[in-house]
């Protein structure tokens, strides 16, 4: 895996809440990479697009937060 893809993967593991809810450009800026790095990571993991990678997990995260009364 290239250093950019490694940095993106590490960011996702270290900051899951931020990654799943922030726009792609915001996450890319936090990583210090281009949005294309996140698209390539999703493709490398077998997804057709970045949104196909992120959407199911984003929905699960939002649903979990809504179910938690506080």
- Residues 3-28 have a mean pLDDT of 89
pLDDT at 43: 95
| All structural domains of the chain with their residue ranges | 3-67
Q: What is the DSSP string of the chain?
A: --HHHHHHHHHHHH-HHHHHHS-HHHHHHHHTS-HHHHHHHHHHTT-SSHHHHHHHHHHHHHHHHHH---
pLDDT tier at 57, thresholds 50, 70, 90: confident
- What is the tens place of the pLDDT at every residue in 21-56? 888 999 999 999 999 999 999 999 999 998 898 888
Q: Which residue has the tokens 């699960």?
A: 60
CATH T-level topology, domain 3-67: Arc Repressor Mutant, subunit A (1.10.10)
pLDDT at 66: 54
């Amino acid at each position: 895996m290239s250093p950019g893809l490694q940095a993106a993967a590490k960011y996702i593991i270290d900051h899951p809440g931020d990654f799943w809810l922030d726009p792609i450009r915001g996450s890319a800026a936090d990583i210090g990479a281009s949005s294309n790095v996140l698209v390539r990571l999703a493709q490398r993991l077998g997804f057709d697009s970045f949104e196909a990678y992120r959407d199911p997990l984003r929905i699960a995260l939002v649903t979990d937060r809504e179910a938690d009364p506080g």
